[in-house]
Amino acid sequence: MPRKKQEPIIIKPAPIEEQPVTQTLEKNFMPYAMSVIMSRAIPEIDGLKPAHRKLLYTMYKMGLLDGKLTKSANVVGQTMKLNPHGDAAIYETMVRLTRGNESLLHPLVESKGNFGKQYSRDMAYAASRYTEVKLEPICRELFGDINKDTVPFVDSYDGEMKEPTLLPVTFPNVLVNPNQGIAVGMASNICSFNLREVCEAAIVCLKSDKVTADELLEIMPAPDFPLGAKLIYNKDEMRAIYETGRGSFKLRARYNYDKSNNCIEVTEIPYTTTSEAIIGKIMELIKAGKLREVSDARDETGLSGFKVTLDLKRGTDPDALMTKLYKLTPLEDSFSCNFNILIKSVPMVLGIKDILLHWIDFRMGCVKNSLKYDIKKKSDRLHLLTGLKKILLDIDKAVSIIRRTEREQDVVPNLMDGFGIDEIQAEYIAEIKLRNLNREYILNKTAEIEKLMEELEELNRILASDKEIKKLIAKQLREIAKKYGKDRKTELISGENLDVYKEEHHIEDYALTIFFTRENYIKKVSAVSLRSTTTEHKLKEDDEVIQTIETTNKSELIFFSNKCAAYKMKTYDLADSKVSAMGEYLPGILGLEDDEKILYTVVTTDYSGMMLFTFKNGKMAKVELKNYETKTNRKKLVGAYSDKSPVCDIRFIEKDEDIVVMSDNNKVLCLNTEKVPLKATKSTQGVQVMTLKKKGAKIARVMKAEDSGLENLKYYTTKNIPAVGCFLKKEDSQMSLL
């Protein structure tokens, strides 16, 4: 029998569930963002991120504060019990804390082996199985009294262990060691300060919370970095950083000149750069022909410390060269401050005073918890000894009670009844060894009662007084400053009298001519070359020179494009050319978009004069050229002119002059540009100059009146604008655009 044809199985696609983006952000992105901010990237008031804290606490529990060095791999493995990250991430965290890496002003981990260097981008640290570590002595101040309930403990991620939420640091570590972190929607960048200065500033804040930024500047004038270098000091800028927690300052490299070898030895560099970045930039400048004074640059860092050597050419002034290098290379670099810290799980950008006050508040809490712990322990001890004192009157009675008690569980109740003591005291007495049931032992023990009472009285007195607690904190700070304090590494120099390199002062100046073509080629031809040449311009087919401008090598070029943008460059940055050469292709030099081209070029030395923009809708805008001057030497200015209507003509005028405007229906208008008001905004639409009554008519041409060839200019001249203009006369018909 024929088999029945099996019907195909139709699988219906699962319905697509739409989910609003707000719900997605709330469910997925917000928890991630919070996790990064709270548990990863932003340091807390103890100056540590969670990864640092977990690592250091693990090393503390491993006994590495007093013990010998152990393999880094061992520490990394143990830390994974608290930190659920890969071994590479944990080891990288450790590397930055080590003395060998030189990232911290006061390293927290003593190290043996290769841990790379903060000042080197390419020097890789050795694997964890080759290096050894232990805690530095200063870590005693991080873990002081941690076993006295000074800080809260929480369960680890798997609930198997306990870990501290903060470390009870006895000095403001958050300001002593630099810290950087990038979270989601926020970041933190805290520079380091000298330990002695920070401790002294904290003591001043302990005495009064009304301390000002100027008073703090007297104590701790500026940051201090592990790599040293020189800080260009500006008191107003530093005050702003101290008050707001935001701002920036500049660091300069320190160098020596070796006269015998004619070389410069750079021995300290800014904290924010690396030796590879410096050497790379120097070699780039040498290849570009902008650094002819240097023949070679190399890294000579060795056991004696950091050193980058620059070999100089004969006759080079080393100080003048370094001034130039400060300007052109990372030998001078900026440090941007963003003192963003988690305070009780809330990110805050704080000034120095507020950071110190929050630390003092945190530290006072730690000290109070420690005092409460000591009071409880001593009170418990006193309670036991008080019970012991009661049996001193009749030791034989105590022995008799114990001997006459038939069951073991009745010993404590019988002692309680016999001497009028509580269960804890009776338990303590019952546990005393038989050999210690003598008068001498009990007298020695009970002699502690008076001492304990005095100690408890003193502890309660301190706990009840914030003033006394602050005195205790100040005493600890003085001891730490004396024990671990070091002289400043970063030298402060005034920025007022520093020599600043200005490139134009070192540029050869000479007369030249700029040639700009319709196809966007540009040539810079010196006057000497122009006088000696007899050849014609080499141009692409159908190309022509549309602008010829005489200027000097120390001028600036402004290029206006069809995308309402202005591009700027120094004339001396344009390569010298010859009439017989094609010249430079501007879109390639300026990085124009595919459909963007340059319409007009302006050359200026002082930004005097005005720009005149004529739009096809009959409007004209006049803007001062100074509006295109920028202090930051930006290469591109957007909104260089209005985009409301297509531009018909762009021209530079030194002063007001007569111009002729023609529409595409042969209407002509002659006017003086003084009738066009000067506008302050580059992107202004200007004012209506010619009224275009014919539908679809537009401005087609603009020229100087003297170049127009019109026989009777007065006939076309208007007194007021806007004006309709006049049709071309027969004798001027050669000017027709139709």
pLDDT tens column, 123-160: 899 999 999 999 999 999 999 899 999 999 999 988 89
Distances 216 to 79, 172, 335, 729 between C-alpha atoms, Å: 39, 15, 20, 81
Residue 62, helix vs strand vs coil: coil
pTM: 0.75
Q: Using one digit for the tens of pLDDT, what is the confidence trace for 581-624?
A: 888 899 988 989 888 999 999 999 899 999 999 999 999 999 99
**pLDDT band of 737, cuts 50, 70, 90:** very low
Burial label, 390 (beta-carbon count in 10 A; 0-12, 13-18, 19+): middle
Is 130 one of the annotated active-site residues of the chain?
yes
Q: Using one digit for the tens of pLDDT, what is the confidence trace for 241-268?
A: 999 999 999 999 999 999 999 999 999 9
Distances 737 to 518, 645, 646, 665 between C-alpha atoms, Å: 20, 21, 19, 8
Residue ranges and CATH numbers for the domains of the chain are 48-168 (3.90.199.10), 254-330 (3.30.1360.40), 364-484 (1.10.268.10), 502-605 (2.120.10.90), 610-624+641-738 (2.120.10.90)
- What stretches of 451-561 adopt beta strand conformation (E)? 491-494, 511-517, 521-526, 545-552, 556-561
**pLDDT in the model for residue 738:** 38
Q: Does residue 34 surpass a pLDDT of 50?
A: yes
Is-contact 557 603, C-beta < 8 A? Answer: yes
Of 52-56, 70-74, 511-515, the one with minimum mean pLDDT is 511-515
CA distance 692 to 669: 11
- What stretches of 66-198 adopt beta strand conformation (E)? 70-71, 109-112, 132-135, 153-155, 162-164, 179-182, 187-190
**pLDDT in the model for residue 505:** 58
User: Annotated catalytic residue: which of 32, 60, 119, 130?
Assistant: 130
Burial 583-622 (b: 16+ CB within 10 A, else e): bbebbebbebeeeeebebbbbbeeeeebbbbbbbbbbbbb
Is the model more confident about 395 or about 103?
Answer: 103
Q: Using one digit for the tens of pLDDT, what is the confidence trace for 2-21?
A: 555 566 666 667 677 777 77
Burial label, 567 (beta-carbon count in 10 A; 0-12, 13-18, 19+): buried
Q: What dihedral do alpha carbons 539, 542, 547, 548 form, nearest 10°?
A: 40
